[in-house]
Amino acid sequence: MKPDLQHIDTNGIRLRVALAGQGPLVILIHGFPESWYSWRHQIPALADAGYRVAAPDVRGYGGGDKPHAIEAYSIRNMCADIDGLITALGAERAVIVGHDWGAPITYGTALFHPDRVRAVAGLSVPYLGRGPMPSVELFRQIYKDRFFYQLYFQEPGVAEAELEADIRTSLRKLYYWSSGERQIAKAEIENPTGPGLLDRLVDPNPLPAWLTEADLDYYASQFRNSGFRGPLNRYRNSVRDFEQLAAFDGKPFAHPTAFLAGSLEPVLRMIPGVDMVELMRERCAGLRYVKVMADAGHWLQQERPAEVTAALLEFLRGLPPI
């Protein structure tokens, strides 16, 4: 089933949304640097299983609106977009599934708009609560003597210039960087040069099997349209997000929750000495389903499409009826 791409007004902006199927609403939220297309395997499968599926290009990406201001990409705004999408699609509630940056947006939508969310599933990025400080401050402490991409992304214009110089090469390197294949191959640049990110990343030849040349062409076409400013602005809202989430500090996260990750997920190793899955178990009262997929990396729904789809369907079918 090929999804129908529509433009939908929500929260004062217009998003492009891939739509398919009929039934209970499931919203799939992509991460950085991706698009609705990262869910290309799950959309038809979930639709065929009896769900109405909506996969937006989040603000700043692809075929939707791209506000310029950094603060436009705060967690509250991103979550209000999803709340408005639920309304625009004529639903009262939805199950929300998010990967990478889509996972915090998923969790945040359940916090800011609890009555609109039936359940949530996070891929790759666990729910850890608000934490003791903004993530950017934590990373400045942990990586004070080392290059760290999220710190490099903070200065407006710098990473944009690097990533937009050759978009297809940038994406090819970024996708391989966090993949299970790269980590299994132990492919590293031994002596990176230059102040940026891309000189530190291996250029794959060939591409991993889950990413075809046609897939890469599509992604590149989307970023030639959108650029990287909006996507990078999400990383520039750490302090603002921390302030906006203060009201939920210490409160239980009670929505029915699933967490899926690869055993080689780099996000789970970002904070040395912390078992993030166990920490999620402690802080997410509604966590009822956890699946870690062997030898998979960050791009989980693309690296392991059948496993992710099966896991999501198992979780969805176990939810209380509407």
- pLDDT tens-digit readout, 228-281: 999 999 999 999 999 999 999 988 899 999 999 999 999 999 999 999 999 999
pLDDT value for 27? 99
pLDDT value for 52? 98
Check: CB of residue 282 under 8 Å from CB of residue 257: no
Listed residue (119, 104, 132, 9) closest to 64, CA to CA: 9
Among 99, 100, 241, 255, the one annotated catalytic = 100
Check: CB of residue 35 under 8 Å from CB of residue 222: yes
- H or E element in which residue 259 lies: strand 257-262
Among 30, 99, 255, 298, the one annotated catalytic = 298
- pLDDT tens-digit readout, 222-231: 999 999 999 9
pTM comes to 0.98
Instruction: In whole angstroms, give the CA distance from residue 176 to residue 204.
Output: 7
Active site residue 166: no
Instruction: In whole angstroms, give the CA distance from residue 221 to residue 26.
Output: 26
User: What is the identity of the amino acid at 134?
Assistant: P
User: What is the identity of the amino acid at 109?
Assistant: T
The full set of domain ranges for the chain reads 4-317
Give the number of C-alpha atoms closer than 13 A to the C-alpha of residue 318, restricted to the C-beta side: 14
Q: Quick one: CA dihedral 180, 183, 187, 192, positive or negative?
A: positive
**What is the mean pLDDT of the segment spanning 203-216?**
97
Active site residue 249: no
Instruction: Label residue 145 by pLDDT band (50, 70, 90).
Output: confident
- Structure-token pair, residue 93: 């509630």
| CATH 3.40.50.1820 applies to domain 4-317 | yes
